[in-house]
Amino acid sequence: MIVVMNPGATEAQLEHVKKRLEEWGFGTHFSKGVERTVIGVIGPKKAGILESLEAMAGGDKVIPVLQPFKLASREFKNERTQVKVEDVVFGGSKIVIIAGPCAVESEEQMFETARMVKKAGASMLRGGAFKPRTSPYAFQGLEETGLRILADVRREVGIPFVTEVVNPREVDLVAQYADMLQIGARNMQNFTLLKEVGKTDKPVLLKRGLAATIEEWLMAAEYILSEGNYRVVLCERGIRTYETSTRNTLDLSAIPSIQRLSHLPVLADPSHGTGKRYLVASLSKAAVAAGADGLLIEVHPNPETALSDGPQSLNFTEFETLISQIGPVANAVGREI
């Protein structure tokens, strides 16, 4: 349930409500809006609690939250959340473009890519240092060496980066380097990992699982939010269906569905969503038209030699062309890039 406080509620009244809730064994999460504060109350129903809360000074009303994802729901917070990563804002008027290779392969590759995507219009760089792969024989990433390369690129080029963390024991290590932590599709329901990133102060990019429903995806976000980290951005990256002509099926309907159910920003990943380079531009424009807050696009200096996901990566010319095409679509739906 949520406790909606009066617009004029004092800090002392807020603290009193919080104290009583904690005494009753509830967890509390505050959302301070422009006009009033909402307190999310987490815990099992108890007799008489509703009446006691409504009688407290400073309280306006108590509303049961019907969705299983309490903190991620629009019931808890009606206005859309904006997540900042340095100067980049997810959930604002600007479409955020994150671009870069699937995997960090070398300093030369990352410096070349970072300079190019930033010049073309990307706000953030992506690159995997730890790579969970379907095959144990596939390239697994440069690990901490890759993180150091990404940090050097950020310092020299002046672009923040997001990178994946795959092991709960390595969250602190990756957080020392990264501006944003990515939870990949295969780890969306790695609840131990979700709890660990929820304990950090780093923004989190949470990808949808291979066969996850929207509710399961939002429940994964709930794990992070419930640990106190409210800087969560969702990413639709395609789900597994019976269709075999594409790597995955990019579920564009998930974007407006999420925005109706949740206050969290949501991106689209047309690269993993299709697995086909020639489909990335079309699906990028469609995702922006559907209301996506940003795009995660794989870009490589030479896709033919990429150690991971070459067939779905754009080269530099293709990426520049795509950026020029996205602008008019963004403007048509009241956004900008």
The Cα 39–Cα 42 span in angstroms is 10
Tell me, what's the pLDDT at 32? 74
Q: Could you tell me which of 117, 119, 112 has the C-alpha nearest to residue 98? A: 117
CATH superfamily of 2-63: Phospho-2-dehydro-3-deoxyheptonate aldolase; domain 1 (3.30.70.1140)
DSSP 8-state symbol, 308: S
pLDDT in tens, the chain (337 residues): 778 888 878 888 888 888 888 888 888 887 777 667 888 887 776 666 777 777 787 777 787 777 889 899 998 888 999 999 999 999 999 999 999 999 999 999 999 999 999 999 999 999 999 877 667 766 667 999 999 999 999 999 999 999 999 999 999 999 999 999 999 999 999 999 999 999 999 999 999 999 999 999 999 999 999 999 999 999 999 999 999 999 999 999 999 999 999 999 999 999 999 999 999 999 999 999 999 999 999 999 999 999 999 999 999 999 999 999 999 999 999 999 9
Tokens for 47? 């007799």
Q: How large is the angle between the packed helices 214-226 and 191-198, nearest 10 degrees?
A: 40
Number of H helices, E strands in the chain: 11, 14
Give residue limits of the domains in the chain.
2-63, 83-332
Tokens for 170? 């390595």
| Residue listed under structure tokens 């917070």 | 77
Tell me, what's the pLDDT at 5? 80
Q: How large is the angle between the packed helices 107-120 and 144-157, nearest 10 degrees?
A: 40
Tokens for 249? 């099926």
Classified by CATH at the fold level, domain 83-332 comes out as TIM Barrel (3.20.20)
Tell me, what's the pLDDT at 198? 97
The Cα 190–Cα 168 span in angstroms is 9
Tell me, what's the pLDDT at 14? 84
Whole-model pTM: value is 0.89
